[in-house]
């Protein structure tokens, strides 16, 4: 049963992973990585930006693929046809359903994101291209909220807006952690030059961004839990509620680990950097803990994908509940 749920949730997980890391990587590029100017002055800095841009290119390709897969799987669900036979129903879904209209908006945003990435390859120090990509990614995130459980309350409703804010905040923090662990910290660690100062600067900047994101996550998670779960009893009495409990435990572990980095590892790196004492061990330990945080983020994404394929606990009490985004006849 659990294995079937995981397989059924795989396309959603793939899409969430691509979108989350994309938003996180763009957040790091815009607000965490210190760029000295429009003309490259530092070879290591240029290599780092190129590394992040390569990652964004991979993520953009993943979003193109995941958008196509999601359309086909949702079409199969809505039409009742097998996945291989669902192609014939795609035009009806696109033209006569709420999901189709949302998907068309999504694919337009994906096209803008890809175009900005292609154009921006020639000027990695310019901010206008990652800003354009960030806006496009935010629109893609909005289409996820507009086609999920939160949209049952209607377009631009408070549950939908809260879900979008939650996804954006979680992506900025969680996707940023994954992007740092993949494309930033290993590159800085291997680079020559004043890596201690740069890693300390990256850590401080990201910590401030993560703090704002965490506050948003807690507030929106509380609201989303109230609208989707409804009671403490439902947390243990329904599959949806039990997955929410696992998410809460994973988030608590993530907060503890993040606090350890913020109040122990980062001050140690800053102090040793200012005193010019050797701090290779402190930096290595910090990078390992960021990697552990990234693993917890991946586990949270698995839980999120499973939640999106389970009926909210609060809705189980409504007999004959039907999804509102079916194909119009």
- Whether 281 is in a domain gets the answer yes
The verdict on residue 39 lying in a domain is yes
pLDDT at 324: 37
- pLDDT computed for residue 38 by the predictor: 44
104 in any annotated domain = yes
Does pLDDT of 37 surpass 80?
Answer: no
For the record, the structure tokens of 124 come out as: 């990695």
DSSP labels for 153-219? Answer: G-TT-HHHHHHHHHHHHHIIIIIHHHHIIIIIHHHHHHS-S-HHHHHHHHHHHHHHHHHHHHHHHHH
Cα–Cα dist 235/218, whole Å: 17
Q: Mean pLDDT score of the chain, rounded to an integer?
A: 85
* Cross-strand partners of 97: 327
Distances (CA, A) of 117 to 50, 131, 132, 236: 12, 11, 9, 45
234 to 36, 88, 219, 226, 240: CA distances (angstroms): 52, 40, 20, 11, 8
Kindly tell me if the per-residue pLDDT of 39 is higher than 70.
no
208-227 pLDDT, tens digit each: 999 999 999 999 999 988 88
Domain assignment of residue 327, yes or no = no
Supply the range of the domain harboring residue 26: 2-317
Inside any domain, residue 35: yes
pLDDT tens-digit map of 155-181? 889 999 999 999 999 999 999 999 999
Residue 169 lies in a domain: yes
Q: Looking at the domain assignment, is residue 329 inside a domain?
A: no
CB neighbour class for 52 (10 Å; exposed up to 12, middle 13-18, buried from 19): buried
Q: Is the pLDDT of residue 196 over 70?
A: no
Domain assignment of residue 268, yes or no: yes
Q: How confident is the model at residue 133 (pLDDT cuts 50, 70, 90)?
A: very high
Over the stretch 174-191, which tens digit does the pLDDT of each residue have? 999 999 999 988 877 766
Q: Name the domain count of the chain.
A: 1
């Amino acid at each position: 049963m659990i294995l079937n749920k995981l397989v059924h949730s795989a396309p959603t997980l793939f899409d969430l992973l691509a979108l989350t890391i994309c938003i996180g990587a763009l957040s790091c590029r815009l607000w965490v990585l210190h760029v000295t100017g429009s003309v490259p002055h530092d070879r290591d800095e240029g290599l780092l930006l190129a590394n992040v841009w390569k990652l964004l290119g991979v993520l953009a390709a993943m979003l193109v693929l995941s958008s196509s897969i999601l359309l086909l799987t949702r079409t199969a669900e809505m039409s009742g046809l097998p996945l291989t036979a669902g192609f014939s129903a795609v035009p009806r879904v696109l033209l006569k359903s709420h999901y189709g209209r949302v998907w068309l908006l999504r694919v337009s945003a994906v096209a803008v994101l890809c175009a900005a990435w292609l154009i921006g390859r020639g000027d990695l120090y310019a901010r206008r291209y990652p800003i354009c990509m960030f806006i496009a990614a935010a629109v893609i995130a909005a289409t996820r909220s507009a086609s999920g459980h939160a949209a049952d309350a209607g377009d631009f409703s408070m549950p939908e807006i809260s879900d979008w804010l939650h996804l954006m905040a979680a992506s900025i923090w969680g996707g940023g952690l994954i992007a740092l662990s993949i494309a930033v910290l290993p590159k800085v660690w291997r680079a020559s030059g004043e890596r201690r100062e740069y890693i300390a600067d990256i850590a401080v900047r990201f910590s401030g961004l993560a703090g704002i994101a965490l506050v948003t996550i807690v507030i929106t998670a509380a609201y989303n839990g109230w609208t989707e779960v409804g009671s403490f009893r439902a947390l243990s009495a329904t599959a949806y509620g039990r997955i929410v409990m696992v998410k809460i435990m994973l988030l608590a572990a993530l907060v503890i680990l993040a606090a350890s980095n913020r109040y122990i590892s980062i001050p140690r790196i800053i102090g040793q950097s200012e005193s010019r004492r050797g701090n290779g061990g402190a930096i290595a330990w910090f990078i390992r803990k960021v990697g552990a945080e990234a693993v917890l983020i991946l586990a949270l994404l698995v839980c999120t994908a499973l939640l999106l394929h389970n009926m909210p606990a609060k809705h189980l009490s409504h007999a004959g509940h039907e999804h509102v985004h079916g194909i119009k006849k």
